[in-house]
Chains A and B, each alone.
Chain A
Amino acid sequence: MNFSFTEQQLEFRDAVRQVLAKECTTDDVRAAYDAPVARTSRWATLAELGVTGLTVPEAHGGLGLGMVDLVPLIEEAGRVALPEPLATTTGIAAPFLADVADSGSVGTSGARAGVWLTGIAQGDLTAAVADVRWPDLPVAGADGADLLLVVADTPDGPELHALEGSMTATAPAQSLDPTRRLGTPQWEPSAATLLLAGDTARTAIDRTADRAAVVTGAELLGLADTMIAMTAGYAKDRQQFGKPIGTFQAVKHLVAGAQVLLEFARPVVYGAAWALDQDSPDASRAASVAKSYASEAALEAARVALQVHGAIGYTWECDLHLFLKRSWALAEAWGSAAEHRARLLDSLLAER
């Protein structure tokens, strides 16, 4: 039993935190609102550090690391509301492509997956991944992505397809948070796009949903942490009735409640990352607890942050909304808290 990160993992996290503090200020996030782009100079920097290729196998130019290594970095991405699709590309698409590259799957899929993985490691490729439950809805990060991983519903079950080049065109859709770069893929399934079918597709879809729940949860942890820190800072400065509003228990208890949720969401997300790396039979269950807990923590942090900031928090000028909007979007992405509670309960009942 050793439930902690290694020194090396923490050092890497700290290094990424330093880089992002400089390269991803709230001004930078605002710039991304005006011009949402998938690959930026910041993305290139992350690629140089090895971050984009963290989960890419070494054979394809990455670091070949796992979810436990990745989750603290995704948390850092959330902390600064990073506009680029690190969670999606490195946390969801790359591990999936690594499975494909390993599995000697349909036709030339394995070889193609290897090429894409190299692209991810080099910072030349961002990917978007459709949620199997909503195959026809807009996909986050799809607008401007180099690779779209999409799902086709067939009488024989779901198939996984990959779209690249001219096939990545999407019908645009707007999000409250423009950095989400939503787009609905415009495509027809063909032999050329097919990546996985049958049981391998089903397994891959399930694993992808679990990974997506955990990395999205990690991003929500970072967002919640920033919102709580901003709020504590504001409550220390803002004076009413001749003293900082943070002296009032009505304010203290709001912020403390959010902090308690965050404190307990962290080990839940970390434990789920470990379960995924172990291929534990409990991994899906752990992923559901992680996403549910992280979503609730971020939504409560958002609610409290807005309430304590008061009217200024409701403005475009105040940076808070950058974090609120991302939190609201991610809380629903890859399963809301309530959906994951339902999924968990089904799993608990299945073993009885």
Chain B
Amino acid sequence: MDRPMDLHYSDAQEALRSEARAWLADHAPAPRSLPSLDTAEGFEAHREWEAEMYADRWSVVSWPEEFGGRGVGILEWLVFEEEYWRAQAPLRVSQNGVFLLAPTLFEFGTPAQKARFLPPMASATEIWCQGWSEPDAGSDLAGIRSRARRSDTEGGWILSGQKTWASRGAFAEWCFGLFRSDPEAERHRGLTYFLVDMATPGVTVRPIPQIDGETGFAELFFEDVYVPDDLVLGEVGKGWSVAMATAGSERGLSLRSPARYSCAADRLVDLYARTREHDPARAARSADSVAQAWMDAEAYRLNTLWTATRVLGGGSVGPEASANKIHWSQTDLAIHRTALDLLGPEAELHGDGVDAPWLDGYLFALAGPIYAGTNEIQRNVVAERMLGLPRG
């Protein structure tokens, strides 16, 4: 089908937008009214919110109906996200599951795994964390040393080792992790992707307070943790390619929808307009940055639609996902850094009873160039795989 370029959403997509907008208006908590999802109390509050979304089939719109979704496509998901961010609805406590593991489960999972894990993921009954990085394997992910060895007595696998920087790890029920199942194999070979119940004996969680003082991630210790065979995702020894599918989602289309940045950029222009009224000189110094940040968000929106069209036409997202990750992480930082400049001496205000969305957002954005593969690693990927430069 060779349709001319058209950047309008369809009538059906606009109808979905109206339905989502009305539902969110009735149900979404007031902006920033829930406690932080990186606290025990906030984690549960966010879980309840997602259960409410799930009950009316809004938590995972693009999934098939049998798993709790609406069976709609990526464009409909983007429309829903536009409304979600417009409503300033809560951050998704289930994000490591629904945005990262789920696309990987759809691609590599057995029918039994999908039936077992997707519905409780969608309802936030089970929250997932990610067990990839290790103390000595961050950017060099293929250097992981956590081991999986066969259980001689029971079949299945015995996991041992240490994972770190597991977002949501302090409170999550499940973990998806990468372990070395063949000690003889080198680097990318001999890795296996496991789904691990955090309640299994031998799993120890040590929450790590983040830069904002809250326990957004954790260290995970595995001491002879038994995992049955049916919790291997994909083939034994092929964990690297399964993990790269997850990484593609993390850097590419599914983790960070454009609406997140478009809405923040619009609020930045509002902040600029207010600042201009009471401190025109300060506003003027940031004018160029405000416009640039708005453009960066708009460019991200257009690039996402461009990519989504390619994917819907049967194309795939390759190393462009790395360019994407560089762009969204930089955009998030630019928006929030500019906002703090506009706030000036008020930028640092924080703590009990202070609502500091820009400072909180800035602290969150600071992690962007680090997680999901540092931006330096992404630049290597862009140079080597998009432009053919030789590996160092």
B-binding residues in A (CB < 8 A): 1-8, 68, 228, 232, 235-236, 243-244, 246-249, 251-253, 255-257, 259-260, 263-268, 270-271, 274-275, 289, 292-293, 338, 341-342, 344-345, 348-349, 352
Query: Which residues of B from 1 to 54 have beta carbons under 8 Å from A?
Result: 2-10, 13
Q: Which residues of A contact B389 (CB under 8 A)?
A: 232, 235-236, 244, 246-247, 251-252, 255
Q: In angstroms, how far is the closest chain B Cβ from the Cβ of A6?
A: 5
Whether A342 contacts B4 in the complex (CB less than 8 A), given A246-B390, A252-B389, A268-B298, comes out as: no
Q: In angstroms, how far is the closest chain A Cβ from the Cβ of B14?
A: 11
Q: Which residues of B contact A249 (CB under 8 A)?
A: 376, 379-380, 392
Cβ 8 A contact of B387, one of A7, A248, A255, A345: A255
> When each residue 369-392 of chain B gets 1 if its CB lies under 8 Å from chain A and 0 otherwise, what string results?
000000010111011101111111
Cβ 8 A contact of A3, one of B2, B7, B295, B320: B7
Q: Are B302 and A236 in contact (CB under 8 A)?
A: no
Q: Which residues of B contact A68 (CB under 8 A)?
A: 4-5
Q: Which residues of B contact A4 (CB under 8 A)?
A: 5, 306, 309-310, 313
Q: Are B299 and A267 in contact (CB under 8 A)?
A: yes
Surface stretch bound by A, among B221-229, B285-293, B345-353: B285-293
Q: Are A349 and B273 in contact (CB under 8 A)?
A: yes
Is B236 in contact with chain A by the CB < 8 A criterion? no
In the complex, what residue of chain A is closest to B9 when comparing beta carbons? Answer: A1
Cβ 8 A contact of B294, one of A253, A266, A274, A344: A344
Is B305 in contact with chain A by the CB < 8 A criterion? yes
Q: In angstroms, how far is the closest chain A Cβ from the Cβ of B380?
A: 6
How far is A293 from B292 in the complex, measured between Cα atoms in Å?
A: 9
Q: Are A274 and B7 in contact (CB under 8 A)?
A: yes
Q: Which residues of B contact A345 (CB under 8 A)?
A: 269, 272, 287, 290-291, 294
Is B358 in contact with chain A by the CB < 8 A criterion? no
Q: Which residues of A contact B306 (CB under 8 A)?
A: 3-4, 266-267, 270
Is B188 in contact with chain A by the CB < 8 A criterion? no
**Interface residue count on the B side (C-beta < 8 Å):** 51
Is B196 in contact with chain A by the CB < 8 A criterion? no
Q: Are B303 and A263 in contact (CB under 8 A)?
A: yes
Q: Which residues of B contact A256 (CB under 8 A)?
A: 326, 378-380, 382-383, 386-387
Q: In angstroms, how far is the closest chain A Cβ from the Cβ of B98?
A: 23
Cβ 8 A contact of B390, one of A228, A244, A271: A244
How far is A246 from B392 in the complex, measured between Cα atoms in Å?
A: 8
Is B270 in contact with chain A by the CB < 8 A criterion? yes
Is B142 in contact with chain A by the CB < 8 A criterion? no
Q: Which residues of A contact B10 (CB under 8 A)?
A: 1
In the complex, what residue of chain A is closest to B6 when comparing beta carbons? Answer: A2
Most A Cβ at <10 Å: residue of B269, B302, B384: B302
Q: Which residues of A contact B320 (CB under 8 A)?
A: 263
Most B Cβ at <10 Å: residue of A68, A235, A246, A266: A246
Cβ 8 A contact of A228, one of B305, B310, B323, B387: B387
Nearest 9 A/B pairs, CB to CB: A341-B291, A252-B383, A256-B379, A246-B389, A256-B382, A267-B306, A267-B302, A232-B387, A345-B291
Cβ 8 A contact of B391, one of A232, A247, A263: A247
Q: Which residues of A contact B363 (CB under 8 A)?
A: none
Interface class of chain B by DSSP: helix
Q: Are A352 and B291 in contact (CB under 8 A)?
A: no
Q: In angstroms, how far is the closest chain B Cβ from the Cβ of A188?
A: 39
Q: Which residues of B contact A1 (CB under 8 A)?
A: 6-10, 13, 75, 305, 308-309
Q: Which residues of B contact A266 (CB under 8 A)?
A: 306
Query: Which residues of B from 37 to 77 have beta carbons under 8 Å from A?
Result: 75
Complex A-B: 14 CB contacts under 8 Å: A1-B8, A1-B13, A3-B5, A3-B309, A6-B2, A232-B388, A253-B383, A255-B389, A256-B326, A260-B382, A267-B303, A268-B298, A270-B306, A274-B5
Is B238 in contact with chain A by the CB < 8 A criterion? no
Q: Which residues of A contact B193 (CB under 8 A)?
A: none
Q: Which residues of B contact A265 (CB under 8 A)?
A: 299
Q: Which residues of A contact B13 (CB under 8 A)?
A: 1
Q: Which residues of B contact A275 (CB under 8 A)?
A: 7
Q: Are B5 and A352 in contact (CB under 8 A)?
A: no
How far is A46 from B382 in the complex, measured between Cα atoms in Å?
A: 35
Is B300 in contact with chain A by the CB < 8 A criterion? yes
Q: In angstroms, how far is the closest chain A Cβ from the Cβ of B280?
A: 12
Q: Are B305 and A3 in contact (CB under 8 A)?
A: yes
Q: Are A248 and B5 in contact (CB under 8 A)?
A: no
Q: In angstroms, how far is the closest chain B Cβ from the Cβ of A287?
A: 12
Q: In angstroms, how far is the closest chain B Cβ from the Cβ of A299?
A: 14
Q: Which residues of B contact A348 (CB under 8 A)?
A: 269, 291, 294
Give me 6 other A-B pairs in contact (C-beta within 8 A), A68-B5, A252-B380, A352-B270 excluded.
A2-B4, A3-B6, A253-B379, A259-B382, A259-B383, A352-B273
How far is A292 from B270 in the complex, measured between Cα atoms in Å?
A: 22
Q: Are A352 and B269 in contact (CB under 8 A)?
A: yes
Query: Which residues of B from 74 to 120 have beta carbons under 8 Å from A?
Result: 75
Is B189 in contact with chain A by the CB < 8 A criterion? no
Q: Which residues of B contact A267 (CB under 8 A)?
A: 299, 302-303, 305-306
Is B150 in contact with chain A by the CB < 8 A criterion? no
Is B187 in contact with chain A by the CB < 8 A criterion? no
How far is A338 from B288 in the complex, measured between Cα atoms in Å?
A: 7
How far is A283 from B308 in the complex, measured between Cα atoms in Å?
A: 22
Whether A349 contacts B269 in the complex (CB less than 8 A), given A4-B309, A252-B380, A267-B303, comes out as: yes
How far is A333 from B378 in the complex, measured between Cα atoms in Å?
A: 33
In the complex, what residue of chain A is closest to B74 when comparing beta carbons? Answer: A1
Q: Are A268 and B287 in contact (CB under 8 A)?
A: no
Cβ 8 A contact of B3, one of A2, A259, A352: A2
In the complex, what residue of chain B is closest to A345 when comparing beta carbons? Answer: B291
In the complex, what residue of chain A is closest to B293 when comparing beta carbons? Answer: A341
In the complex, what residue of chain B is closest to A252 when comparing beta carbons? Answer: B383
Is B149 in contact with chain A by the CB < 8 A criterion? no
Is B327 in contact with chain A by the CB < 8 A criterion? yes
Most B Cβ at <10 Å: residue of A232, A342, A345, A349: A345
Q: Which residues of B contact A228 (CB under 8 A)?
A: 387
Q: Which residues of A contact B305 (CB under 8 A)?
A: 1, 3, 267, 271
Query: Which residues of B from 259 to 289 have beta carbons under 8 Å from A?
Result: 269-270, 272-273, 287-288
Q: Which residues of A contact B291 (CB under 8 A)?
A: 341-342, 344-345, 348
Q: Which residues of A contact B299 (CB under 8 A)?
A: 264-265, 267-268, 289, 293
Q: Which residues of A contact B379 (CB under 8 A)?
A: 249, 252-253, 256-257, 260
